[in-house]
Amino acid sequence: MFDPVINGLPAFASFFATAVLMLAAFVALYVAVTPYSEIRLIRDGNEAAAVSLGGAVIGFALPLAVSVAVSHNLYAMIGWGAVAGVVQLFVFIVARLALPRINESIPQGRLASGIFLALLSIAVGILNAGCIA
């Protein structure tokens, strides 16, 4: 009865561990790319930073989850995950160019900017996930 689950555990463990590592690497890279320290801002209670970073994490996790579901091997999953990470970083860069004051708004705790950036990241993540073949 549980044979398919037990037999699938090694594959599950390898995909899950790889996905968690990729998520952690994305968060570290995203935080390094932004001109403000989200982690410090979040520790200080900055809701705009928390919402913004949370949206970026969801925007990356959605296509990463789809890449796990459609990939037949770890290399394909890692490739699609890397594409998803690049796309999310590109979204932030475009948002900075379109709204240059967003670099000031997030550290100042302007929630509207955090929500906009989060929703933009999630929307692009959904599109990105839908494009994975």
The total number of structural domains in the chain stands at 1
> For residue 83, what pLDDT is reported?
97
103 burial via Cβ count (<10 Å: 0-12, 13-18, 19+): middle
> For residue 18, what pLDDT is reported?
98
Sign of CA dihedral 108, 91, 119, 29: negative
Whether the CB-CB separation of 84 and 128 falls below 8 Å is answered with yes
* pLDDT by 10-residue block (mean), the chain, 133 residues: 84 96 97 94 97 98 97 95 97 93 95 96 97 90
Dihedral angle of Cα 57, 59, 61, 63, to the nearest 10 degrees: -160
> For residue 97, what pLDDT is reported?
92
Task: Give the structural domain span for 76.
Answer: 3-131
Q: pTM here?
A: 0.93
> For residue 29, what pLDDT is reported?
96
